[in-house]
Structure 1
Amino acid sequence: MNLEQYKVFLEKKGLADTTIKSYIYTIEVYTESNVITQKNLLEYKSYLIEHFKPQTVNLRINGLNRYLEYINRKDLCLKTIKIQQKSFLEDVISLADYLYLKNQLKNEGNKKWYFIVWYLGATGARVSELVKLKVEHVKIGYFDVYSKGGKTRRLFIPKRLRDETLNWTDDQQKDSGYLFLNKEGKTISSRGIALHLKYCAKKYGVDPKVVYPHSFRHLFAKNFLLYHNDIALLADLMGHDSIETTRIYLRKTSTEQQQIVDRIVTW
């Protein structure tokens, strides 16, 4: 089995780097103790269902199916499992906590993390996209993101954020290159951002459960619909293939649902 050739196959499919790593990991784990037969694949699927969350199960199944496609055994492909969609959003940072976290970072002069939080909350960027943001993108006000299947979505940078960022980069005498670097002066990693956000949450007394990169993307979507109720535009901004995916942001968080029930149910 040549995983390097398989990696090239996945790259030609236009898959994201994180997806490719996940798919290769899936095959490495599976082939450690299994050969590819229908019986073994079905048993492995049962094992996944018993031990992992539905999203992880489907990620592993998709990884296996891609490999089966690669070796011309699509007849063995597995069906993904149906995920019951919840009627509410969970663990989404509130606007108040987002603004508080942002202000605390600014007040302490921690400009890099102040801007990281602001960009996550004000652009709807995925963290894997944010780490590729450059000063050149800030200057023109947008960042064209190329996703799987050769699709392009434009990630817009709001004017106030753009102006403050350029003041910051001017102070640093930074005219080009990646916007966010680590302590070694290299491009910061997605994992590095996720871990430091948890640290900031604990430091400033915000629930760490709601402080993670994708939570800010949820915040962006919910607030966008609150101020501009155009779900088709939001779907484009978020890079969703279907408006059905975007409809989840019309829902309330479980905390918001509880507050509404507490307020109106007095009988």
Structure 2
Amino acid sequence: MAKRITMNSNKDNKGFREAEREFIKHCRLKNLSENTLSYYEETLEVFIKYIDKNDIKLKEIDSIFVDDYLLYLKNSGIKSVSINTRLRGLRAFLYWCMKRGYMESFKIQLIKQEEVIKETYTDEELKLLLKKPNMKKCAFPEYRNWVMVNFLIATGVRLSTLVSIRIKDTDLENSFLKTVHNKNRKQQIIPISNALNKVLIEYLEYRNHESDEDYLFCNQYGEKLTTNACRIAVSRFGQKRGIAHCGVHKFRHTFAKNWILAGGDVFRLQKILGHSSMDIVRKYVNIYGKDLQKDFDRFNVLDRLSDNKDYIKMR
């Protein structure tokens, strides 16, 4: 009797490394940022080490194995927030593998995590940071750092956006910034306040650029600042002014908090911060809920309009 010929699909034997290379190639074709690609690569590298330790193939991965991996991360002392950060990247890859038929389909859910209050700058710290340096005595880097701090406070942009802004991206006449250097790679319009507008007009006079293609924030030789150099510059600028922990991302949280407390529209906040969904903005509102209670009675319409100051006691 003749032996029946069976079709052997390469999908059934797809190796993890091979699938990872295909996934990264797919992400590059989608024009995802280098930061996002690095995030995926770092996330998958940790997962690969766990796979090698357990000697399992890609097609054998299921919900139980993912749960075991999450428990392994938790037992390693990693916080829930960080675990979910890794899980988002891993989930994107595994869902892609499922669509390609490299493994069976199943749902992957984030683990529950406590909402941690994001650290922000106090008004006193902001006043210290916004004190203008002596223009007759300071060098360009110190002045540039002061301008960057003004920019971060007024816009809440990400570090990757800050260092990628070119002079041509700013329209000071109409008070807005146009950029495509944010996380989701979409063009974004960011309003520029009157105070920041004045700061930037003066800064560009000192910046003395040769072309509108030049980067807005540069080193003392006119070259683009790296994200690490910018991070260090802002940190040292804050330390000199008595602020021990002065981080770039902390300005983003400060911007969001003050926008919410001032009664700003959350939909506009989403657009300004460049979030693709309302999820993060909702978290900001929940996190700063206690701050929203401040002066609540003074602003509440019922308390403002009520003439009845005496309460009737029930017998």
Which TM-score tier does this pair reach, normalised by the shorter chain? Answer: 0.7 to 0.9
2:128 to 100, 111, 116: 100
Q: Percentage identity across aligned positions?
A: 22
Residue matched to 2:111: 81
Asked if 2 retains the 8 angstrom alpha-carbon contact of 1:14 and 1:149, the reply is no
Write the distance in 2 (CA, Å) between the matches of 1:255 and 1:103: 29
Return 5+ residue gaps in structure 1 as ranges: 261-267
Would the alpha carbon gap of residues 77 and 96 (structure 1) be closer, same or farther in structure 2, given more than 3 Å must change?
same
Considering fraction of residues, name the structure with more helix: 1
Residue matched to 1:118: 150
Return 5+ residue gaps in structure 2 as ranges: 1-16, 296-315
Would the alpha carbon gap of residues 152 and 49 (structure 1) be closer, same or farther in structure 2, given more than 3 Å must change?
farther
Write the distance in 2 (CA, Å) between the matches of 1:194 and 1:251: 28
Highest RCO, 1 vs 2 (Cα 8 Å, sep ≥ 6): 1
Q: How does 1:133-148 map to 2 (within 5 A)?
A: 133-140=165-172, 141-145=176-180
Q: How does 1:1-267 map to 2 (within 5 A)?
A: 1-2=17-18, 3-13=20-30, 15-34=32-51, 35=56, 36=58, 37-38=61-62, 40-50=65-75, 51-71=77-97, 72=100, 73=103, 75=105, 78-86=108-116, 89-103=117-131, 105=133, 109=138, 110-140=142-172, 141-145=176-180, 151-174=186-209, 175-176=211-212, 177-182=214-219, 185-208=222-245, 211-243=246-278, 245-250=280-285
Task: Please report the TM-score for the alignment, with normalisation by the length of structure 1.
Answer: 0.79
Other structure's SS at 1:131 match: helix
Asked if 2 retains the 8 angstrom alpha-carbon contact of 1:235 and 1:243, the reply is yes
Counterpart code for 2:227: S
Write the distance in 2 (CA, Å) between the matches of 1:257 and 1:236: 22
Deviation at 1:52, TM superposition (A): 1.1
State which structure, 1 or 2, has the greater radius of gyration over its C-alpha atoms: 2
Write the distance in 2 (CA, Å) between the matches of 1:250 and 1:106: 38
Asked if 2 retains the 8 angstrom alpha-carbon contact of 1:68 and 1:77, the reply is no
Other structure's SS at 1:179 match: coil
Asked if 1 retains the 8 angstrom alpha-carbon contact of 2:159 and 2:249, the reply is yes
Give the alignment's Cα RMSD to 1 decimal.
3.2
Write the distance in 2 (CA, Å) between the matches of 1:142 and 1:186: 21
Write the distance in 1 (CA, Å) between the matches of 2:225 and 2:107: 37
